[in-house]
Amino acid sequence: MIAQLQCVVLDCADVDELSRFYQSLLGGVVNQPDPRWSLDDDWATLHTGGGLVLAFQRAEDHQPPRWPDPVRPQQFHLDLGVSDLEQAQEDVLSLGATLLDEGDGKRSWRIFADPAGHPFCLVRD
């Protein structure tokens, strides 16, 4: 092993908006003091209860991905496990997510975009 994952960093236009979106979705503490990162208007963090840290970095002229457009690919995505896919869909849409692909009704996941345009999947546990 060469390294350990410290956090996943998402570029966005508004670090506060996106950190609060993921806090509402995953729980945790936004901008918890941590000696690894300095917090400012261009950087925010979310420490989740499960130990995962997401970081949000302001990018001037942020161009969100357009799934499934290969010209502006998804760049990364998160798979998030849920017990009730229908309820989870309602919840993320109310938080500001956008439904990208509902699927055929038979598969166990659906694809959404967060408010900054990053794709993520809700996957039935």
Mean pLDDT of 86-108: 94
pTM: 0.84
Query: Over 90: is that where the pLDDT of 79 sits?
Result: no
pLDDT tens string 27-68: 999 999 999 888 999 999 999 999 999 999 999 999 999 888
Give the chain's count of helices (H) and strands (E).
2, 8
With beta carbons less than 8 A apart as the criterion, state whether 122 and 85 touch.
yes
Query: How far is Cα 57 from Cα 44, in angstroms, rounded to an integer?
Result: 7
